[in-house]
Amino acid sequence: MLMRVLIVDDEALARARMRALLTELSSPAIEIAGELADGRAAVEFCARERVHAVLLDISMPVMDGLEAARHLAGFEIPPAVIFCTAYDEHALAAFEARAVDYLVKPVRAERLQAALQRAERLSIEERRGSAGIGSQGQRRTHLCARVRGNLRLVPVTEVIYLLAEDKYVVVHGEHGEVLIEESLKSLEQEFADQFVRIHRNCLIALDRLLALERDPAGTMHARLRGADRALEISRRCLPELRALAKHQ
């Protein structure tokens, strides 16, 4: 079987060396699917194109390799991820992110070949790891949603508030709304210093809070920058929110 491999590294020379190494391999048969310079571009590419394996650097702009690997592990048919990095201190986190292998630069051809052969043998179930995407101790910079079958990555900095509805969470952001299949509680834990609970079903971005307002019926609401309406605050959440607002 022809293996389609994506090269992801923010250094052009590193991408060129990896491309040269791939052309030297006798097996498996390789087709280079593309070359990219950051993790977000890699996730979006793999959502559009069939990719069997991703050679992924860790330290990159926009989205690093560890976060990209966690998003990729949540795909219905995830590509095998092989980290190729100059440092060895991220090895544990890499395997927690369902990496097939972890290669330290300069990568040797025989080591790369062994990693790709292992990737070729792995089943989809062995590569998949959608549960706990953000639970490995590294906070995400993006939330991942599916919109009419297409993947959309929403920068956390663009999120205004998060609203739980049934088994989904509605992400209200600067560019509209999307649904994600995550719990409000897990998001609250992961982004504890960025979002605050104002109701049992709602988290708001703390840096978006403009004011606390009381309506004629005595109910308190939070007014947020970028939101088209004020959001109700429960009595239980009000004391903590007031304390946080004083330090804004």
> What is the residue-averaged pLDDT of the chain?
90
Q: Give the tens place of pLDDT for each residue, 22-68.
A: 999 988 899 999 999 999 999 999 999 999 999 999 999 999 999 99
Q: To the nearest 5 percent, what fractions of the chain are helix, strand and coil?
A: 30, 30, 35
Domain ranges of the chain: 3-127, 144-246
Please, how many CA atoms are within 13 Å of residue 245, restricted to the half-sphere of its CB? Answer: 19
Residue 9 has pLDDT above 90, yes or no: yes
Please, how many CA atoms are within 13 Å of residue 67, restricted to the half-sphere of its CB? Answer: 21
Predicted pLDDT at 208: 96
Cβ proximity of 158 and 174 under 8 Å: yes
Predicted pLDDT at 146: 80
- What spatial distance separates the first Cα and last Cα of the chain, rounded to whole Å? 57
Q: Which of 130, 221, 122, 113 is nearest to 182 (CA)?
A: 130
Superfamily name with CATH number, domain 144-246:
LytTr DNA-binding domain (2.40.50.1020)
Predicted pLDDT at 88: 79
Place 124 in a pLDDT band, splitting at 50, 70 and 90: low
Beta partners for residue 85, in sequence order: 104
Predicted pLDDT at 50: 95
- The mean per-residue pLDDT over the stretch 189-217 comes to 95
Cβ proximity of 2 and 27 under 8 Å: no
Rounded CA-CA distance 167/6 in Å is 34
Residue 229 has pLDDT above 90, yes or no: yes
Instruction: Please provide the size of the chain in residues.
Output: 248
Place 228 in a pLDDT band, splitting at 50, 70 and 90: very high
Residue 188 has pLDDT above 60, yes or no: yes
Predicted pLDDT at 94: 76
Predicted pLDDT at 137: 54
Rounded CA-CA distance 213/54 in Å is 50
Rounded CA-CA distance 99/102 in Å is 7
Q: Give the tens place of pLDDT for each residue, 139-173.
A: 899 999 988 778 899 999 999 999 999 889 999 99
Rounded CA-CA distance 146/44 in Å is 11
Place 134 in a pLDDT band, splitting at 50, 70 and 90: very low
Q: What are phi and psi of 222, to 5 degrees?
A: -105, 130
Predicted pLDDT at 28: 85
Predicted pLDDT at 129: 53
pTM of the predicted structure, to 2 decimals: 0.80
Q: How distant, in Å, are the alpha carbons of 168, 171, 184, 185 from that of 165?
A: 5, 11, 10, 13
- The mean per-residue pLDDT over the stretch 8-27 comes to 94
For helices 109-121 and 12-24, angle between their N-to-C axes, nearest 10 degrees:
70
Q: Which of 105, 145, 93, 146 is nearest to 15 (CA)?
A: 105
The reply to whether CATH 3.40.640.10 applies to domain 3-127 is no
